[in-house]
Amino acid sequence: MSRRLALQCSIALILLSPAVWGAGSAAPLPSPACRGTLYLTLDTGSMQSADTIATILQRHQVKATFFVANEPTWRGDHALDDSWRDFWRARAREGHHFGNHTWFHATLVKDLPSGDILTRGGDHAPREFDKAGFCQNLQRVNERFKTLTGQSLEPLWRAPGGHLTPNAASWAGDCGFPQHVGWSPAGLLGDELPSEKYPNPRLLNQALTHLKDGDILMMHLGIRSRHDPFVRVFEPLITGLQARGFCFATLPKASQ
């Protein structure tokens, strides 16, 4: 065999090698090292953007932590009705995490002299919760989510609006949800704010400029009152953060 023919054969063998082509191009290319980690959290809200958000997360291989409440949705049902079973099951299969956002999604106003917690808003009139009622407000979400998906929530919860009372902070651990999760100042993405005053380009630029390693982001799966839905800039937000070297992880953090 001539030297030239031998060289051609060697090149052909190299080009056919799995080490070059990644075993038939099946193996993904290695991801660049993360320059920082962000924690995307998604509260239920009206759910009108839920499918779009889920598609974007899947397309860009982003894992998020969903905080689940039985809120009324844009379809006229509730987020934990059987009609949302397929949605939640699909997100569970994709490897997302899930925390508790309370069943009634009522704001915790204050602790009363009686020791009960006064709440307002949500899908019901103002009410008072003693410890047993407060625990039921959390545990009912976990039970329903497990019925829908076959898995339990993480031991995480988020009070509606982030409003805590001393009793709520004390009781939640006894109810099975010891860790309350808020959000970082720069992580409040603003999707619930009026778009006339806080347009999407402004919110997008604000997030891309100020988010830093370790920040917890918060947005909703839909907000009825916002005229220009934030979901229209959600994909540029994800790709922009990834281009800046950020990776996404679920809660609880690995160190917790």
CATH number for position 82: 3.20.20.370
Asked if residues 203 and 191 have their Cβ atoms less than 8 Å apart, the reply is yes
Q: What is the pLDDT of residues 40-54, one digit of tens each?
A: 999 999 999 999 999
* Strand bridging mode 65-68 / 36-43: parallel
Structure tokens at 21: 């082509």
Judge whether 25 lies within some domain: no
Judge whether 120 lies within some domain: yes
pLDDT at 30: 38
Q: What is the pLDDT of residues 32-87, one digit of tens each?
A: 678 999 999 999 999 999 999 999 999 999 999 999 999 999 999 999 999 999 99
DSSP structure string for 179-198? EE----GGGB--TTS-TTTS
Q: What is the pLDDT of residues 97-131, one digit of tens each?
A: 999 999 999 999 999 999 999 999 866 678 999 99
pLDDT at 126: 85
How many domains, the chain? 1
Judge whether 225 lies within some domain: yes
Judge whether 216 lies within some domain: yes
Q: What is the pLDDT of residues 228-240, one digit of tens each?
A: 999 999 999 999 9
Judge whether 4 lies within some domain: no
Q: Which domain holds residue 85?
A: 33-248
pLDDT at 125: 76
Beta bridge partners of 40: 217
Q: If pLDDT is split at 50, 70 and 90, which confidence band does 139 have?
A: very high
Q: If pLDDT is split at 50, 70 and 90, which confidence band does 223 have?
A: very high
Going 235 to 70 to 148 to 169, the CA torsion angle's sign is positive
pLDDT at 74: 96
What distances in angstroms separate CA 56 from CA 153, 198, 239, 252, one per listed residue?
23, 23, 10, 22
Asked if residues 252 and 156 have their Cβ atoms less than 8 Å apart, the reply is yes
Q: What is the gyration radius of the CA atoms in the chain, in angstroms?
A: 23
Q: For 190, left (φ over 0), alpha (ψ -120 to 50), or beta?
A: left
Mean pLDDT confidence for 13-28: 30
What distances in angstroms separate CA 79 from CA 43, 94, 101, 236, one per listed residue?
11, 19, 12, 27
Q: Phi, psi at residue 217, to the nearest 5°?
A: -95, 150
- Give the residue from 96, 80, 92, 98 showing the smallest Cα distance to 43: 98
Structure tokens at 255: 């160190």
Q: What is the pLDDT of residues 166-214, one digit of tens each?
A: 999 999 999 999 999 999 999 999 999 999 999 999 999 999 999 999 9
Asked if residues 63 and 95 have their Cβ atoms less than 8 Å apart, the reply is yes
pLDDT at 33: 77
Judge whether 199 lies within some domain: yes
